[in-house]
Amino acid sequence: MQNELPCLFRPVEFRIKHATLDWERRQAHSLRRAVFCEEQGIFQGDDRDSIDDEAHLLVALACVAGMPDTVAGTVRIHRDEHGRWWGSRLAVDLAFRRSGSLGAALIRLAVSSANAIGCDTFLAHVQSQNVPLFRKLRWESLAEETLRDRPHHLMRADLAAYPPFHRMADGFVAHARRS
């Protein structure tokens, strides 16, 4: 008879990196659908758009015994036609939102990666409830806007707070907060 006890395991570390493998990209897009389509109802069916064709996709990978196991968070970055860099579609899996500062770690890699490849302006449209996190991470609000019937802030990162990070595919390790 098989024991059906619930799994209480929580990862203690996460690898924050640019997505380089197909399974990372698939899980990142699945996570975005779960957050932006199912949970928040912002998009119908899928949140993908033409930006995805050119964007760099970043992931936070939950690790088991030091090995990447599942995508716990994601964000994408891209350069627009005016040379400005943008971050968008920041999402953290509901099961990992209490594990640590995955959103902050993804933001750190996003801006630092763009800074390493010539960024002089990094912007994002941030949902209003997330503005305090961004302000804590040294972003400033430039304007309040409504996007998809939701309040947002157009925000700009203080690039001085994000030194260039060149090892994008390797990324870095972030540790979970202890509960």
Q: What is the mean pLDDT of residues 110-128?
A: 97
Model confidence pLDDT, tens digit, residues 24-38: 999 999 999 999 999
- What letter represents residue 149's amino acid? D
Give pLDDT, residue 1: 42
117 SS3 class: coil
- Per-residue burial over 18-35, b = 16 or more CB atoms within 10 Å of its CB, e = otherwise: bbeeeebbebbbebbbeb
Whether the Cβ atoms of residue 36 and residue 47 lie closer than 8 Å to each other: yes
Sheet of strand 67-79: strand arrangement: 139-147, 150-157, 122-127, 85-92, 67-79, 56-64, 13-18, 172-175
Beta-carbon contacts of 68 under 8 Å, excluding residues fewer than 6 positions away, are 15, 24, 61, 62
Residue 154 CB neighbour total at 10 angstroms: 15
Distance (Å) of CA 164 to CA 10, 88, 129: 31, 19, 28
Give pLDDT, residue 5: 46
Residue 8: pLDDT over 60: no
87 SS3 class: strand
Give pLDDT, residue 90: 97
Structural domains of the chain, ranges and CATH numbers in brackets: 13-175 (3.40.630.30)
End-to-end CA gap in the chain: 33
- Taking alpha carbons only, the member of 137, 53, 154, 65 closest to residue 101 is 137
- What letter represents residue 78's amino acid? H
Residue 103: pLDDT over 80: yes
Task: Supply the pTM of this predicted model.
Answer: 0.90
